[in-house]
Chains A and B, each alone.
Chain A
Amino acid sequence: MDLLQFARGPALTWAATVFVFGITWRLVGILLLQRSPDFSEARNATSWLGAIKLIVTRSWPRREFRQRTLFAQSVGYIFHIGLVIIVFGFAPHILFFKALTGLVWPNLPSAVINLTSAITLAALIVVLVRRLSHPVLRLLSNFDDYFSWLVTFAPVATGMLTVAHFGARYETLLAIHILSVALLLVWFPFGKLMHSALVFISRGTTGALFERKGASI
Chain B
Amino acid sequence: MNEPDTLGAGLAHSGVSRRSFLKFCTVMASLMALPPGAAQAMAAALSQAKRQSVIWLSFQECTGCVESLTRSFDPTLEQMIFEMISLDYQETLQAAAGEAAESARDEAMKSSYGKYLLIVDGSIPTKDGGVYSTVAGVSNHDRLIDAARGAAAIVAVGTCSSYGGIPHANPNPTGAVSVSDIIKDKPIMNVPGCPPIPSVIAGTLAYFVTYGKLPELDHIGRPKVFYADTIHDRCYRRPFYDQGKFAKTFDDEGARNGWCLYELGCKGPTTYNACATIKWNGGVSYPIESGHGCLGCSEPNFWDKGSFYRPLSTPLADNAHIIAAGTLGGIAAGAVAAGLSRKHQTHIGEEK
Q: How far is the CB of A201 from chain B (nearest CB, A)?
A: 13
**A16 with B319: CB separation less than 8 A:** yes
**A95 with B334: CB separation less than 8 A:** no
**A18 with B326: CB separation less than 8 A:** yes
Q: How far is the CB of A161 from chain B (nearest CB, A)?
A: 13
Q: How far is the CB of B324 from chain A (nearest CB, A)?
A: 8
Q: Is A98's beta carbon under 8 Å from chain B?
A: yes
Q: Is A45's beta carbon under 8 Å from chain B?
A: no
User: What is the total number of residues of chain B having a CB less than 8 Å from a CB of chain A?
Assistant: 45
**A99 with B310: CB separation less than 8 A:** yes
CB-CB under 8 A from B339, the residues of chain A are 32
Q: Given A29-B338, A171-B270, does the pair A22, B330 have CB atoms closer than 8 Å?
A: yes
**B326 with A95: CB separation less than 8 A:** no
User: What is the total number of residues of chain A having a CB less than 8 Å from a CB of chain B?
Assistant: 50
Within 8 A of B (CB), among A1-39: 1-2, 4-5, 8-10, 12-13, 16-34
Q: Is B329's beta carbon under 8 Å from chain A?
A: yes
Binary contact readout B242-274 vs A (1 if CB under 8 angstroms, 0 otherwise): 111110100000000000001100000110000
Describe A's contact surface by its main secondary structure. Answer: helix
Q: How far is the CB of A187 from chain B (nearest CB, A)?
A: 15
**B330 with A21: CB separation less than 8 A:** yes
Q: How far is the CB of A185 from chain B (nearest CB, A)?
A: 11
Q: How far is the CB of A33 from chain B (nearest CB, A)?
A: 5
Q: Is B323's beta carbon under 8 Å from chain A?
A: yes
Q: Given A95-B314, A110-B242, A111-B243, does the pair A100, B334 have CB atoms closer than 8 Å?
A: no
Describe B's contact surface by its main secondary structure. Answer: helix
Contacting residue for B316 out of A9, A17, A93, CB 8 A:
A9
Q: Is A176's beta carbon under 8 Å from chain B?
A: no
**Assembly CA distance A196 to B216 (angstroms):** 51
Within 8 A of A (CB), among B276-318: 300-301, 304-306, 310-317
**Assembly CA distance A20 to B334 (angstroms):** 12
Q: List 18 A-B contacts (CB under 8 A).
A: A5-B316, A8-B306, A8-B312, A13-B317, A13-B319, A17-B319, A20-B326, A21-B327, A23-B330, A29-B334, A34-B342, A91-B262, A92-B311, A99-B310, A107-B244, A109-B243, A110-B244, A170-B230
Q: A8-B314, A18-B326 are in contact. List 17 more A-B contacts (CB 8 A).
A: A4-B305, A5-B301, A5-B305, A8-B316, A9-B317, A12-B316, A21-B333, A24-B331, A25-B329, A28-B338, A32-B334, A32-B339, A33-B338, A95-B262, A99-B315, A104-B248, A111-B243
